[in-house]
Structure 1
Amino acid sequence: MSADTLLQRINNYANRPDPYPLYAELREAGGVVRQTDGSYLVGTYHEINDVLHDPRISSDQRNLSEPYRVAEEESHPPAFIVLDDPEHHRLRNILTRPFGPPHSPGRVDAMRSEIAKISEELIDAFGDHKRIDVVDDFAYPLPVTVICRLLGVPRDDEPLFREWSTRMIEGADVVPGEDRTARVQASKEAREAMGDYLADLAEQRRGKPADDMLSAFVNEPDPAQRLTREELAVNAAILLLAGHETTVNLISNGVLTLLRHPDQLERLRRDPALMPKVVEELLRYEPPVHLVPIRTPLVDVDVAGTTVPKGVRLVLALASGNRDPRRFSDPDRFDPAREDSAHLGFGGGVHICYGAALARVEAQIALAALIRRLDSPRLTEDPPPYRTSATLRGPRHLWLRGRG
């Protein structure tokens, strides 16, 4: 097939179980390939990394030329992850204050015992069931519970977020030739509903702060570090979405990969201290985010000898870069002992994943608990059914047989 249909084929659900031959085709075609809709797909490690660090490449889709835009009347400002500096830097710094260093350096480490407790409670709930769904019974409820507790969302309201999240994710996929208007509109409505809920919840904490991030945002004493209601709504929604959806995939992809590699699973059982290296290799080998669907040059730029015009859409295939043989030795082999693990699993540059440290801790604790507690788990279906999104790729269900 022609390389200019690669993005369309990557988005084809039939290829969700194994998109890696398509990524190999992309790299063999030169790594930077113009698609049928005029966008450019980038699939080699060094070129992706260069684009992620290039200040001439914008994350703000308002810089896209007209043919690549989807008309959308925004009632809220854009989230920080789709803005460029200096506005991106301003918002990211504000959002980081109650979450990480330098203002809250112990926030993630302080969650370790709670993450472990939640993990054990979820596994206890398996009971004597001989068949469990790792996604619905464990990989989804763990990170959504963690991020909701960090933000201050009541436990009873956690189920509200699943439908909102699904619609938001589906709106991000880019399929050449497809009219995205309906999906983008549904995504916008879900984002606004989630944002309004979180802004209202934060407002209830004004003057009555608790130990959560929404309280910190709305009770910030420094006027220069305060978010408007609109900024809080859209950015809190993105933090909640990103704070659990990627980790769901990381955990479920991790379980699937380890069961497909029983030698590595047995090695990890014998030496649990290897878990941090296992998670890093999972982020390379089966990353939770496969595509960065929208970047755009602010000027004509050269990417691996290809001139990419100003204003066109660049789509970065992170998962392809993670399997680039010019960067990684024997890249299609799952090797937790790999010494060179400078993967693209969390992106890179100024937009590197805000919650990377938390995702790592959650995955390490969750996988360790499952390995320790599950007795001879076996896949009942391989490949499993996958989620719709090609951007956030992971199993929709992952059924195991075995006793907890």
Structure 2
Amino acid sequence: MTQATLLRQIIDYSSRADPYPLYAELRKTPVLQEGDDLFVVSTYWEIKSLLHDPRISSDARNLSPSAAGTLLQEEEEASALPPAFLRLDPPEHDRLRRMTMRPFGPPETPRRVHNMRGELARIVSGLIDGFGDRNRIDVVDDFSYPFPVTVICRLLGVPREDEALFHSWADTIAAGLDPDPGQDPGERRRVTQQARTELGKYLSGLIDERSGAPGDDMLSALVTQHGEDGQMTRMELLSTASLLLIAGHETTVNLITNGMLTLLRNPDVLERLRGDPGLALPIVEELLRFEPPVQLLPQRTTLADIDINGVTIPKGASVWLVLASGNRDPQRFPDPDRFDPDRKDNQHLGFGSGIHNCFGAPLARLEAQLALTELARRLNSPRLVEDPPPYRQNAVLRGPRHLNITFDGFHA
């Protein structure tokens, strides 16, 4: 296997079920140059260093013209909405993230996620009750998708009955992250632009409603807040609401689904969880290391020459950070290919690190803990129908598209 083909093999769909042997090969060259302006970083300490380095930009507008290729053209043509704060650098990133955090978490709203625990537990129980007398389900369609979607709708104040509308838009926009979309780039630009436009119109209507009659939801708080950072512009509101709606469920679907798949492959851990719900916390942390829902961060940009691991990445280059590879780096984690919920010092990269660490991490953790605990407790002898299951196309947001399982009724 030649190094020049590694990245192409990793993003190819044929590797989706198990990219980890390719990551191991990739780590032999911690900073791999592909072409003139693309650098792939795959080892833990190098990734973490760059995630905390202010010379790394998340704003694609900082790419050099040769490194950008058609990326900027695609984003400009497809952007009915401006970049969300996830794709911005300080100080714009910091201002918008602070404003978004106020109605979500500390210091202004420190117990928002904690106070949702009871409601989340009721949603989980209701979904499992909805399995009825079936002994076969698709974990994705029947559980791990509807759960976080219901949660983010309630949190933002989006009518749950509108899920059918934004489901298609969210899937299309998320697919735009895939570096190997498997379709004509021009067609992808067209469908992505259409999805963003439709989502923007939908959210604009909700913002108008909240402006006139605010509720106790996050969208109302974002619309009406007047803090030290001022008030979001309408376009900032639209891009932030879009980010929260999509990111608020896309990664959690994968986390729960990857989690159930991993537990079914490790029945001893599943049995331990059934008897000890407190094990859910370390199980989810190990899942975030072992099978992270976000596998890589493409299209970061260097604002200056950066020397790392004996390689100089020039200013304006494109940098891909392969988080899932860093999470399996044997220089950081002993026996990294073993799923071990008893692992100590598990400072994984599952939610990134630095100023762009996952905004919704506390909620995603709680959702996954409750979901996996209740599935383990309630389902009697769950088994995989097929292994590996069919995966989603996306190489960035990696997870099964379906996870069909059978079980022998319910535990009392």
Q: Same fold (TM over 0.5)?
A: yes
Shift of residue 46 of structure 1? 0.3
Residue equivalent to 1:326: 331
Aligned ranges 1:383-394 → 2 under 5 Å:
383-394=388-399
Provide the rounded CA distance (Å) in 2 between the counterparts of 1:370 and 1:283: 18
Matched residue SS, 1:206: helix
Give the match's secondary structure for 2:339. coil
Which amino acid letter does the alignment assign opposite residue 169 of structure 1? A
Number of the residue aligned with 1:137: 142
Rounded Cα–Cα distance in structure 1 between residues aligned with 2:38 and 2:200: 31
Check whether the contact 1:11–1:175 (CA below 8 A) recurs between aligned residues: yes
Aligned partner of 1:396 in structure 2 is 401
Does residue 197 of structure 2 align to residue 198 of structure 1? Answer: no
* Alignment correspondent of 2:90: 85
Cα displacement (A) at 1:208: 1.6
1:233 is displaced (CA, Å) by 0.7
Instruction: Tell me how far apart the structure 2 counterparts of residues 177 and 395 of structure 1 sit (CA, whole Å).
Output: 18
Would you say 1:108 and 2:122 are equivalent positions?
Answer: no
Query: How much does 1:184 deviate?
Result: 4.1
- In structure 2, the partner of 1:33 is 32
Distance 1:207 1:193 in 2: 22
After TM superposition, the structure 1 = structure 2 runs for residues 146-165 of structure 1, keeping only pairs within 5 Å, are: 146-165=151-170
Return the match for 2:283 from 275, 278, 281. 278
> Secondary structure of 2:211's match?
coil
The 1-side partners of 2:65 and 2:304 are apart by 15
| Displacement of 1:75 | 4.2
Aligned to 2:130: 125
Aligned partner of 1:289 in structure 2 is 294
Aligned 1:297-376 pairs, distance under 5 A: 297-376=302-381
C-alpha distance in 2 between matches for 1:245 and 1:177: 20
Match of 2:236 in 1: 231
Structure 1 residue runs without a partner (length 5+): none
State the Cα distance separating 1:161 from its structure 2 match: 2.0
2:166 pairs with 1:167: no
Equivalenced residues, count: 403
In the TM superposition, what whole-angstrom CA distance separates every residue of 1:332-391 from its partner, at most 9, and x where no partner exists? 000000011100000010000000000000000011111111111100000000001010
Return the letter of the residue paired with 2:349.
Answer: L
| Larger deviation, residues 326-335 vs 155-164 | 155-164
Task: Tell me whether 157-166 or 12-21 shows the greater mean CA deviation.
Answer: 157-166
Task: Indicate the SS of the match to 2:278.
Answer: helix
Give 2:287's aligned amino acid. Answer: L
Q: Are 2:141 and 2:402, in contact at CA under 8 Å, matched by a contact in 1?
A: yes
TM-superposition CA deviations, 1:256-280 (whole Å, max 9, x none): 0000001111122222211100000
- 1:138–1:34 Cα change, 3 Å: same
Distance in 2 separating the partners of 1:217 and 1:97 = 9
Q: Is the 8 A contact 2:95 2:229 kept in 1?
A: no
Counterpart Cα distance in 2 of 1:127 and 1:342? 40
Letter in 1 for 2:4: D
Q: Which residue of 2 aligns with 1:9?
A: 9
TM-score normalised by length of structure 1: 0.96
Aligned-partner residue type, residue 208 of structure 2: E
Q: Distance in 2 between matches of 1:177 and 1:253?
A: 23
Offset at 1:219?
1.5
Q: Percent identity?
A: 59
Report the 3-state secondary structure (helix = DSSP H, G, I; strand = E; otherwise coil) of the residue aligned with 1:116.
helix
Code of the aligned partner of 2:313 = V
Cα deviation per residue 1:248-301 (whole Å; 9 max; x = unaligned)? 000000000000001111122222211100000000000000010120101111
Q: Which amino acid aligns with 1:51?
A: L
Q: Secondary structure at the match of 2:342?
A: coil
Deviates more, 1:246-255 or 1:5-14: 5-14
- SS of the residue corresponding to residue 374 of structure 2 reads helix
Q: Is the alpha carbon distance of 1:361 and 1:371 closer, same or farther for their aligned partners in structure 2, counting shifts above 3 Å? A: same
Partner of 2:19: 19
**Does structure 2 conserve the Cα–Cα contact (< 8 Å) formed by 1:300 and 1:309?**
yes
Q: Which runs of 5+ in 2 are unaligned?
A: none
Q: Tell me, in whole angstroms, the C-alpha distance in 1 between the residues paired with 2:215 and 2:364.
A: 24
| Match in the other structure for 1:50 | 49
- Contact kept in structure 1, 2:81 and 2:200, CA below 8 Å: no
TM-score (ref. length: structure 2): 0.94
